[in-house]
Each structure stands twice: as C-alpha cells, then as structure tokens.
C-alpha cells in the first residue's frame, strides 16, 4: 500500500541513471564537436559518436522496452564501463598524456560512487585501473607522475568503500524509521489519507479501507472530491476543503457514505504536508470513526429530553444546588453547615418547585441562596435548621423524608418533606440534588387532629370523672333502700342494680386510665419490675378468683426499666387481671416472667384458660371488644395495653391455643430523653 524507501530509492536511482546516460552522451558529443582536432586521429571521434549513441539508445529504450526498463540499472553500469573504456582508449591514443590521464582518474573516482554496492565499485575501479596499468607497462609509458594517478584511483576504492558504508547505514536507519512509521500508520485505529497537490489520493491505510469498505487500489489516484461525504456542497465542507487546499490545518465532523451505502460519522483532521524547505507536497487527512460516539450522544440527548420532561412534569419540586467553591468533607460539621447555607445557590429547578414557593417561573429561583429558603424566627428554628443540615452531613450527605419549615415568596410558612443527595468527588462536596414535597396541608391537618384529640381526651377524662359522682350517689341510695326494705325479694333486685353499677364503675375507671394513657404526661423513672408486679398483685387481691390462682414468677433481679411508671403499671395490671379472670375455672394458673435485655425488658404473661378463638384473634386489641359474651369486663383492657406499649415504642404479640391458654409477649424499651 505504501511506497517503501527502497521503491523510492529505486525510482530516484533510475531517474539519476537516465540523467547520467543522457548527460554523458551530450558531454562526449560536445567534447567531440569543440575538440574535433583532438578527437579526429585514429577514429577517436567516431568511437565517441558510437559511445554517445549507445548511451542515448539505452536512455530512450528504458521508457518503452520492458527488458531494458527492468535491466536499466545494470545496463547503465555497463554504460559507465563503456565510457571509461573509451576514455582509456583516448588516453592510450594520446600516449598517456597527464592532461588526459588525470581527468580519467578523477572520473574513475567520481563514477565509482554511483554503484549501489561496494563490490561493484571495487570491480569497476580494479578493472579500469588494471587495464590502464597493463597498457602503461607494456607500452613502456610508465612515468613517475603516473603514480599520482594510480594513487588517486586506488584511494577512490577506499573512499568508495567508506562512502558506501555510510550510505548503507543511513539507508538502514531511514528504512527502520520508515518501518516504524509504516507500522504506526497501518496499525492505527484512525483512517489516514495522503493527498498530493493535484488533490489526488496517493496513500490510504488499512483503517481507512475498513471505514470506507473499499480496497486501497480503489482509492489510489482518485480525487478527494470522490469521497462520498454527505452534504459535501454545504458551506462547512467547502470551507474545510478550501482551507486544506490553501495549506491551512482544519477539522470538521461529517458523514461518509460507505461502499454498502451506510452512513458513518467521521471526525476529519486535515493538515498540510511539507518538505524540509517548507514547500507543500500535499496534505494528510486523519479520519476518526465517531459513529458510536454520535449514537451515544443521540441516546444521551434523548434521555436528557426524557429526563427534562420527567422533571418538568413531576408533581414534586426538583432542584440542583451548586456551591461557590467545593466544600471539603474534612471540615468541622458547623463550618460545613455554614458553607452549605451561605454558598449553596439554586442552579436548576423545575416549574413545580417555583409554584410551591409562589413564583411564576423557575428562573426566579435561580441563584438564590439555600439559607434564604429556611424560616428562622428564633433560636429554636436555627437549631432545627442546623440539625437538619448536620443530619445530611452525618448520613454521608444524604437525607430522606426530613421535614423543614420554609418561607415562600410572600413570607408565608411552608412545610416541606426533603430527600437530598450530595455529589462528593475526591473528598469535596460539589453539588446537591433535592426532591421536595410540600406537606403544609398535611401539617395543618395533623395540627387540627391533635387539637381535636386533645379536646376529646379532655372531655373523655372529665366526663368519666363527672359520671363517677352520680354513680356513687346511686350506689348509696341502693344501700339505703336495702336497709329500709327487709324484703328478700327486693334484695335480689338491689343486688342486680349494685352489680350493674360496679360494672359501670369499672368501665369508668378503665376510661380514666385510657385517657391518662393517651394524654401521655410522662414522668420517667427507674422501675423495678418485681416491685411493680407486687403492687399489681396487691391491688388485685380483692378479686373473687385471686385466692384460687396458682402463680409462678420468674423475674430477674436486674429486670429494671426506665420509663413512665403509669404506662408500665397499666400494661402489667391489665394483662395479669385478664389472666386471673380467664384462667381455668377449676384450677387457674398464672405465669409471669421478665428479663433485662440490652435496651429494655422482655416479659411474658401466661394463663391456662380456654384460649382465644382463632376467628377473633385479629380483634383482641380493638376498643370495647370482648372475646367472651359472658365477660364482665369493659372491653378496654387489651386496648389500653396496646395503646400504652405503642406510646412507649414497644411491641406486643401473643400465642393462643384453644383449651391450652394464652401467652402475651411484650417488649418495652428504655425511654430515651
């Protein structure tokens, strides 16, 4: 594909030898014409014409006759021999006159350098000098001054040897460099085209052949205009071609139609190619296949458009903040918080976010500081904002579902739910992406619900207390009526009334306890579970079944819990009360265990009663639900237990089997301040 150094040297040698043949013939003819008297004797002139004719014939036939063309170098070397044989003949005819002999020796020296191998030069020098020496000796023409000529001739052999070696070294080094250059071009991934000053393609490498789908021979000699460049007539392509024609380096991206009529994208670089003197020899085109890059760019553009559409149509606020200078993650948290708030500015956001803050367009938010969004009325608000930022920093620059109190354009407070992610590169926070959901309406609804629940709890508590007074009065009237009426028949009715009053009284007590649990006026203290269970047994000792119950306690000495005693007492009292009430009718049993864990207590309360039917197990924690139709309870006991445990952040579950009792398992964590 590439013209090698050897090929170029062969071309140069052929041109030089042609010039040598022609110039030698002309010089011999010229000498014959201007020195006709000198050349006339003994047919010197005639022989000069013959030699000149042979040289001109060799020159002419080298263009047309294949044999002469292929053997032209060797024929030219024979011509050199012929010239010097003729020169020896002339010198001989002139009796070896020094004015002929010395130019002959110089010619031998000069012409010995044209041979491409040393042995050829040596053979040339040896044969010519030997013939000359033999003639001198046999014709008794040897003179002392002839020694200079012979020394000159044999010195030529030594010089020719050294010159040939230097030529060979230079040639080898150039060939080595050429091989490296050729290997580089052939193995490069980019296509390469060499174009001469006539805009003809002279060289292409394998990579370009792969790109174009054509062999090198199909391109050699073609015009650069023959490249199937898409839109080659547009202004950009025309300017590119005009620039490289003028010797100006340029580059362009364009589409190339391959031999299979497929379009590939190329990045094309054009640069002038000059010789050592700065003369433009042509220019080089380097073509990189960027089809994959273009495809990726198109995909990225499509995805970016989809991403932008998604962001713009999202029903949440989406934003990106950039920092004036990247923030080092090694800085103290307080310093990072200050830089986050003061140097972070909104660089991008969607329209929905602008609407959340009362703006008409997202462009009105661009450039605003992060600090400007937060509502800071007092030290408490400052601490909340700082806490939010520190949580973001401490969680590896991520935060999820974090609430913040912020201001809109009109100074109105807005509550936001934040999901932020920071982009950290080499220990520096570069930017932050955020997704915000406005929860102002939800917060208002929650506030209203809290107010309603508080009012309901207050009413609940007061109503329960207010009902206990009239209930006690009714109980007193029943007792007076029993004393004033000795009729046993009436006493049966009084007993039924008293039973109903006591049941109602128990219900009111449960309601008061529930209200106290829901209000959650916590008084945290260290509680001994053993002492608390003893208090429960003491308070329940009046129950009719209490004396029949066989109890088993397994409470560790280290079973301590830090919590609200009222809530913990409510849990154990209701569970133990239920176990006593619903144990086996003939031989009730009660088992209570408790042990300390790493962060709280784990307890079990078990009875040996009939168990809870499978059909109602999912309802046992509901308010006013009673699992047994003949139960005398209010249906609030387990509801109170579940409410108290939820209040303390604990867990409760149970296992029950019909006629094999029920076990309740509870976990209560230590209360953290």
pLDDT recorded at residue 432: 93
pLDDT tens-digit map of 373-403: 886 666 667 888 888 899 999 999 999 888 8
Rounded Cα distance, 382 and 398, in Å: 20
Say if residues 570 and 645 touch (Cβ distance below 8 Å): no
Q: What are the backbone angles phi and psi of residue 223, rounded to the nearest 5°?
A: -85, 150
Given a cut of 70, whether residue 509 has pLDDT beyond it is: no
The DSSP element (H or E) to which 526 belongs, if any, is strand 524-528
- Which range of 127-131, 174-178, 368-372, 496-500 scores highest in mean pLDDT? It is 368-372
pLDDT recorded at residue 238: 79
**Is residue 633 packed enough to be buried (19+ CB in 10 Å), middle (13-18) or exposed (0-12)?**
buried
Q: What are the backbone angles phi and psi of residue 214, rounded to the nearest 5°?
A: -125, 155
pLDDT recorded at residue 393: 92
**CATH of 520-669 given 3.30.565.10, 3.40.50.1980, 3.40.50.20, 1.10.20.60:** 3.30.565.10
- Per the model's pLDDT, the better-predicted residue between 339 and 99 turns out to be 339
**402 pairs with which residues across the strands?**
418
* Cα dihedral 437, 438, 443, 444 in deg (nearest 10): -160
- Per the model's pLDDT, the better-predicted residue between 1 and 244 turns out to be 244
pLDDT recorded at residue 33: 64
Number of H helices and number of E strands within the chain?
A: 20, 17
Q: Tell whether the torsion through CA atoms of 118, 122, 128 and 129 is positive or negative.
A: positive
| Mean pLDDT for the stretch of residues 304-315 | 72
Instruction: Write the CA distances from 309 to 283, 303, 313, 443, integer angstroms.
Output: 47, 10, 6, 30
Say if residues 109 and 159 touch (Cβ distance below 8 Å): yes
Q: Indicate the pLDDT class of residue 79, thresholds 50, 70 and 90.
A: confident
pLDDT recorded at residue 5: 47
pLDDT recorded at residue 523: 76
pLDDT recorded at residue 1: 40
pLDDT tens-digit map of 96-148: 666 666 676 666 666 666 665 555 666 766 677 777 777 766 766 656 555 66
| Mean pLDDT for the stretch of residues 414-430 | 91
Instruction: Write the CA distances from 653 to 599, 616, 642, integer angstroms.
Output: 19, 14, 10
Given a cut of 90, whether residue 332 has pLDDT beyond it is: yes
Q: Indicate the pLDDT class of residue 213, thresholds 50, 70 and 90.
A: confident
Given a cut of 80, whether residue 371 has pLDDT beyond it is: yes
pLDDT tens-digit map of 575-629: 888 888 888 888 889 999 999 998 999 999 999 988 888 878 778 877 665 655 5
Contacts of 467 (CB under 8 A, 6+ apart): 508
pLDDT recorded at residue 218: 83
Rounded Cα distance, 432 and 337, in Å: 13
| Mean pLDDT for the stretch of residues 410-419 | 87
DSSP class of 65: -
Given a cut of 60, whether residue 191 has pLDDT beyond it is: yes
The domain limits of the chain are: 5-183, 188-293, 314-438, 444-503, 520-669
pLDDT recorded at residue 406: 83
Q: Indicate the pLDDT class of residue 663, thresholds 50, 70 and 90.
A: very high
Given a cut of 90, whether residue 336 has pLDDT beyond it is: yes
**Alpha carbon 477 to its chain's center:** 86
CATH, range 188-293: 3.30.450.20
DSSP class of 220: T
Domains 188-293 and 520-669 are alike in CATH topology: no
Say if residues 499 and 524 touch (Cβ distance below 8 Å): no
Given a cut of 90, whether residue 83 has pLDDT beyond it is: no
pLDDT tens-digit map of 437-492: 888 888 888 777 777 666 566 655 555 555 555 666 666 666 666 666 777 667 66
| Mean pLDDT for the stretch of residues 537-556 | 85
Say if residues 321 and 348 touch (Cβ distance below 8 Å): no
Given a cut of 90, whether residue 270 has pLDDT beyond it is: no
Given a cut of 90, whether residue 666 has pLDDT beyond it is: yes
Given a cut of 50, whether residue 2 has pLDDT beyond it is: no
Q: What are the backbone angles phi and psi of residue 529, rounded to the nearest 5°?
A: -65, -35
How many other CB atoms are there within 10 angstroms of residue 366's CB atom?
14
- Which range of 88-92, 314-318, 647-651 scores highest in mean pLDDT? It is 647-651
Q: What is the CATH class of 314-438? A: alpha beta
Q: Indicate the pLDDT class of residue 346, thresholds 50, 70 and 90.
A: very high
Q: Across the chain, what does the average pLDDT equal?
A: 77
């Amino acid at each position: 594909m590439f013209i090698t150094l050897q090929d170029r040297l062969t071309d140069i040698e052929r041109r030089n030898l042609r010039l040598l043949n022609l110039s030698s013939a002309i010089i011999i003819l010229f000498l014959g014409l201007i020195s006709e008297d000198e050349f006339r004797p003994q047919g010197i002139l005639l022989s000069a014409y013959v030699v000149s004719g042979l040289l001109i014939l060799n020159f002419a036939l080298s263009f047309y006759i294949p044999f002469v063309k292929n053997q032209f170098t060797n024929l030219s070397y024979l011509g050199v021999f012929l010239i010097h044989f003729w020169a020896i003949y002339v010198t001989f005819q002139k009796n070896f006159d020094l004015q002929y002999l010395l130019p002959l020796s110089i010619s031998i020296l000069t012409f010995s350098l044209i041979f491409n191998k040393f042995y050829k030069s040596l053979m040339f020098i040896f044969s010519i000098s030997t013939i000359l020496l033999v003639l001198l000796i046999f014709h008794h023409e040897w003179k002392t001054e002839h020694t200079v000529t012979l020394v000159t001739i044999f010195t030529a052999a030594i010089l020719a040897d050294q010159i040939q070696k230097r030529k060979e070294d230079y040639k080898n080094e150039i060939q080595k460099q050429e091989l490296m250059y050729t290997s580089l071009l052939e193995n490069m991934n980019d296509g390469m085209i060499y174009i001469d000053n006539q805009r003809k393609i002279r060289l292409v490498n394998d990579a370009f052949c792969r790109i174009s789908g054509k062999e090198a021979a199909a391109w050699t000699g073609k015009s650069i205009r023959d490249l199937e460049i898409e839109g080659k007539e547009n202004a950009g392509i025309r300017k590119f071609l005009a620039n490289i024609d003028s010797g100006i380096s340029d580059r362009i991206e364009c589409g190339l139609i391959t031999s299979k009529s497929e379009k590939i994208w190329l990045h094309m670089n054009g640069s002038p190619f000059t010789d050592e003197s700065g003369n433009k020899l042509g220019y080089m085109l380097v073509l990189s296949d960027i089809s994959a890059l273009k495809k990726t760019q198109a995909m990225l553009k499509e995805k970016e458009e989809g991403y932008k559409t998604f962001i713009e149509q999202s029903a949440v606020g989406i934003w990106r903040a950039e920092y004036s200078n990247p923030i080092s993650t090694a800085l103290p948290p307080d310093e990072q918080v200050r830089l986050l708030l003061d140097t972070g500015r909104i660089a991008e956001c969607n329209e929905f976010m602008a609407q959340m803050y009362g703006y008409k367009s997202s462009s009105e938010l661009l450039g605003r500081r992060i600090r400007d969004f937060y509502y800071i009325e007092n030290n408490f608000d400052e601490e909340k904002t700082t806490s939010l930022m520190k949580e973001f920093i401490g969680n590896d620059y991520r935060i999820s579902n974090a609430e913040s109190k912020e201001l809109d354009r009109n100074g109105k407070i807005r509550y936001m739910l934040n999901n932020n992610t920071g982009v950290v590169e080499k220990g520096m926070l570069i930017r932050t992406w955020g997704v915000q959901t406005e929860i102002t309406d939800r917060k208002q609804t929650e506030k209203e619900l809290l107010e309603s629940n508080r009012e309901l709890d207050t009413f609940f508590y007061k109503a329960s207390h207010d009902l206990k007074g009239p209930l006690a009065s009714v109980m007193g009237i029943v007792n007076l009526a029993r004393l004033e009426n000795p009729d046993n028949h009436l006493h049966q009715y009084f007993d039924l009334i008293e039973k109903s009053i006591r049941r109602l009284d128990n219900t009111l007590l449960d309601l008061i306890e529930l209200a106290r649990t829901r209000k959650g006026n916590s008084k945290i203290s260290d509680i001994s579970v053993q002492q608390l269970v003893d208090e429960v047994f003491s308070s329940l000792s009046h129950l009719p079944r209490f004396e029949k119950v066989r109890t088993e306690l397994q409470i560790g000495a280290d079973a301590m819990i830090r919590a609200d005693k009222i809530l913990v007492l409510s849990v154990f009292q209701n569970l133990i009360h239920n176990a006593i009430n619903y144990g086996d009718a003939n031989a009730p049993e009660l088992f209570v265990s408790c042990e300390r864990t790493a962060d709280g207590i784990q307890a079990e309360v078990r009875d040996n009663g009939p168990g809870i039917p499978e059909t109602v197990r999912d309802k046992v924690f509901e308010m006013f639900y009673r699992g047994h139709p003949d139960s005398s309870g209010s249906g609030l006991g387990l509801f109170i237990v579940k409410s108290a445990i939820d209040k303390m952040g604990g867990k409760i579950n149970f296992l029950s089997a019909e006629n094999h009792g029920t076990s309740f398992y509870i976990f209560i964590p230590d209360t953290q301040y």
